[in-house]
Amino acid sequence: MKVSGYVALLGVLLISLVARAGTNSGVAPPSVHVNVPEDFHFAAAITEEDESVDQFCDETRQSITEPGTETTYGLALANLTLGLVDEDPKFILIARGLFSTDSETAKDPREQKVAKLAVAYTDAILSDKFAKGDDTRDRLEPVQLKKYPPPTTNFRKIIIGRTAIRVKQGTRIKTQVDRVVRDWLQARNIKASPWSYSKDTLNPSHEGKKISEILALTNATVVPVWGTRAKKFGEDWYAPDADGVYRFEISEDKVENFPTTILIDDQTAIINDTHGISGIAWDSLDADLVIGCGDHKGKMDAAYYLAERGVNVYVPTDRFLGMLMGTHTKGLVVGSAPVKKILKVP
């Protein structure tokens, strides 16, 4: 759902403030505080990029006011980010009002459901009453890679660079949200919903750039995967497969350092800005090609899972690709290979 500028936003803000704080002054009362969930560290992700938190907040405020793709849900995520990083309850209240509106007006059932969970999350942020989870009801079954024995000592040559994934007209591509559709860390396109794909607003670097290169040569369909349900087992976060079995470890920073993550309880979260094959495999079996980051063990487990089922996977960031040496799958997994046009298929 799209909102119309500041008139709608101000109305939502005033309603939220009246409901939550009993005032229509537009300023959160002194008793309201931002309580960042335990183990969540947003500043770390920002300072690792050689940027101060103040700089980030200034850029985010500016991005919110600038023209661009804007939806109720996306604007809520932008304000949630600013409220958590700057620890300003005013923006949490704005986010709550927007999420509440979206939970009632959104047509997509998943969007409605996650928006309702986000309302409860903003309440927890302001009250410091986070629910406790129970991981005993969910199954954790890590992926087991099946490998062929190593070649005999008599082999004489290794061919490198022959493997290629051919993208045809009409290819269905599924991809991550982060660094493709949105980039909260760079304050780019942050008012857009995670599913708001547009060829014209793709991220100009990383996976977004590679998808742009593919689209320059073919009319492929691109579908971002969002709303991944992550579960914490012990100290590690995992994403599920298509059957809901938790298999793929997610790098903790892609959950706990992302302020757009919606925490359901201390062991369960919804990831909006999905990052990596591990976070999108559950909803990608209907794709011809899956594109995402491969810089983690769990991402390679997820790539193997998809390839075993005949789905091709392209990981432009491929530091862990060596894990799959010796595996044989129906689909192909290709690392940081160039995108180019082939005039004649061998």
Shared domain check, 203 and 120:
no
pLDDT for 161 equals 76
Q: How many CB atoms lie within 10 A of CB 33?
A: 13
Q: Whole-angstrom Cα distance, residue 212 to residue 198?
A: 11
252 — alpha (psi -120 to 50), left (phi > 0) or beta? alpha
Nearest to 127 by CA among 40, 24, 20: 20
Last residue of a domain, one of 127, 160, 186: 127
What was the pLDDT predicted at 149? 86
Last residue of a domain, one of 127, 161, 180: 127
Q: Is the pLDDT of residue 3 over 50?
A: no
Q: Are 313 and 212 found together in one domain? A: yes
Rounded CA-CA distance 163/273 in Å is 30
Q: Is 121 found in the same domain as 162? A: no
Residue 160 has pLDDT above 90, yes or no: no
Identify whether the C-beta of residue 203 lies closer than 8 Å to the C-beta of residue 214.
no
Domain count across the chain: 2
d(CA 64, CA 27): 18
Q: Give the DSSP H/E element, type plus range, for residue 15.
A: helix 5-21
Choose one of 127, 155, 180: the last residue of a domain: 127
Averaged pLDDT, 280-296 = 98
Q: What are the tens digits of pLDDT across the range 100-145?
A: 999 999 999 999 999 999 999 999 999 999 999 976 789 999 999 9
The residue length of the chain stands at 346
102 and 154 together in one domain = no
Strands, E assignment, the chain: 172-175, 221-224, 228-233, 236-240, 246-250, 262-265, 268-271, 289-291, 312-314, 333-334
Residue 302 and residue 190 in one domain: yes
Average pLDDT of the residues of the chain = 90
Q: What are the tens digits of pLDDT across the range 26-80? A: 455 667 899 999 999 999 889 988 899 999 999 999 999 999 999 999 999 999 9
**Cα dihedral 90, 93, 99, 101 sign:** negative
Same domain, 113 and 173: no
Residues 240 and 100 in one domain: no
β-bridge partners, 209: none
- Shared domain for 117 and 143, answered yes or no, is no
Q: Quick check: 13 and 94 in contact, CB under 8 A?
A: yes
pTM, whole model, 2 decimals? 0.89
Looking at the structure, do residues 37 and 66 belong to the same domain, yes or no? yes
Is the domain of 302 the same as that of 167? Answer: yes
Give me the domain span that covers residue 219.
136-346
114 plus 148 within the same structural domain? no
Q: What are the CA-CA distances from residue 23 to residues 29, 31, 97 (Å)?
A: 8, 12, 14
- Does one domain contain both 213 and 325? yes
